[in-house]
Structure 1
Amino acid sequence: MHPILTERTKPFSRTNRLRDDIRSFLSLNGCEKTAEHCMNVGTEARRIALRFGADPEAAETAGWLHDISAVIPNGDRIAVSRELGIEVLPEEEAFPMIVHQKLSAVMAEQLFGVTDAAILDAVGCHTTLRAGSTLLDQVLFVADKIAWDQPGTPPYIRELQEQLNRSLMHGAFAYIDYLWERKHTLKVVHPWLKEAYEELRHRV
């Protein structure tokens, strides 16, 4: 494990139960709400994976892991990411919250020993998606938007659910299109989001 992660996180007891370990890690580091959200996204990702033919175990695992970088304060994420060798884009430097997807992927590998590239890749793009997204990428992306971590009902949820009845790709695009129509209100437009929008717009 990289020393910066040892310095920035409280130690936790590893078991052979990944779900429990993730919950314990987040709770010990003061992120109980995030722990609950990650468990909910894992459940939703499994459900969506079964519906659309993705690997349910991988989807659930990705859901549990996707926000583990919440333990790193927002103001520290750029410095920690660079220390871990993560490429930081200008948009991420301007809006550090968004680099958490990449940071979670690295932490999943270093803290929890996850080596499945498909899971790590899905975790690494769960906020923005990306061009050439895989089935698992789309499963986690949509699950995170359905099991969102804010009060109330997501304003985009009806359209997303309707489009899911057409395909997973349509569901993913429904959320991206929702953001795109409001891009003037976003702090930044991440290039991966733009690339995913352009690709899916032509495909759906």
Structure 2
Amino acid sequence: MNVFSNVIGSFDFTGDCMNDAYQFLVQHHLPAVAEHSKRVSQEAERLAKECLYPEHKAAIAGILHDISAVFPSAERLSVAQELGIPILDEEIDFPMLLHQKISKVIAQDLFQIRDLEILNAIECHTTLRKNPGQLDLILFVADKIKWDQEGTPPYVEELNRALHDSITSAAYCYIHYLMLHKNELKVVHPWLSEAYLDLEKRVSF
């Protein structure tokens, strides 16, 4: 697709998804995103092992979840439109949220990922969604544990306690934290609200 021409450039895709994704981000002068993605990949792999889920799938989802960072935030709305991605009003108001959907398309089209569980997890790693699959939950929680900001996440101790119960409880714990601070959010994404109501029915928190 033409929308990818500039970001591909002369990059040589070797077929080694883990290394290619890392180097792709580094080539675009995004070493911090590359390191964050690596940490999330490793954490997703750890959580997958605990959940008896295929670790290699979790690792791939983790390394690719933020691959759309190669497109600056200011371009993400137009990129999503060109890719034909369905766009919600909240994503128009805060285009950063589109990065999860764009990452899914990049994973599929540039990195040749065909596994729907991996693609779906990437697509909702920031907001989650109702009726999440196991990998959706694993990647969502891994991304929140290994967040991309400085310092220690203010919610992480409570999240780790919830994780002793289940990955579902950990996901709910994080969304519950967000909802307690929703006045600080730019927007409340509908998928996040739906996930909150859905998980609330499943956990005792």
* TM-score with structure 1 setting the length: 0.97
Compute the displacement of 1:11 (Å): 3.0
**For this pair of structures, how many residues does the alignment match?**
203
Secondary structure of the structure 1 residue equivalent to 2:63: helix
| Aligned equivalents of 2:200, 2:151: Cα separation in 1 | 29
Unaligned runs of 5+ in 2: none
Alignment partner, residue 195 of structure 1: 194
Alignment partner, residue 83 of structure 1: 82
Q: Render the CA deviation track for 1:136-186: whole Å, top value 9, x for unaligned.
A: 000000000011111100000000000000111000100000001111111
| Aligned equivalents of 1:111, 1:125: Cα separation in 2 | 19
Assess if the C-alpha contact under 8 Å between 1:55 and 1:136 holds in 2: no
Alignment partner, residue 68 of structure 1: 67
| Aligned equivalents of 2:10, 2:22: Cα separation in 1 | 13
Alignment partner, residue 167 of structure 2: 168
Alignment partner, residue 25 of structure 1: 24
Compute the displacement of 1:52 (Å): 1.0
| Aligned equivalents of 1:8, 1:134: Cα separation in 2 | 31
Alignment partner, residue 36 of structure 1: 35
1:151 aligns with 2:150: yes
Alignment partner, residue 179 of structure 2: 180
Assess if the C-alpha contact under 8 Å between 1:9 and 1:71 holds in 2: no
Alignment partner, residue 110 of structure 2: 111
| Aligned equivalents of 2:40, 2:5: Cα separation in 1 | 26
Letter in 1 for 2:44: A
| Aligned equivalents of 1:139, 1:106: Cα separation in 2 | 20
Secondary structure of the structure 1 residue equivalent to 2:110: helix
- For the aligned residue pairs, the C-alpha RMSD in angstroms reads 0.8
| Aligned equivalents of 1:25, 1:201: Cα separation in 2 | 38
* TM-score with structure 2 setting the length: 0.97
| Aligned equivalents of 2:17, 2:127: Cα separation in 1 | 25
| Aligned equivalents of 2:146, 2:10: Cα separation in 1 | 28
| Aligned equivalents of 2:22, 2:34: Cα separation in 1 | 5
Compute the displacement of 1:15 (Å): 1.2
Assess if the C-alpha contact under 8 Å between 1:138 and 1:172 holds in 2: yes
| Aligned equivalents of 1:8, 1:84: Cα separation in 2 | 14
Compute the displacement of 1:8 (Å): 3.9
Compute the displacement of 1:101 (Å): 0.3
Unaligned runs of 5+ in 1: none
Compute the displacement of 1:89 (Å): 0.5
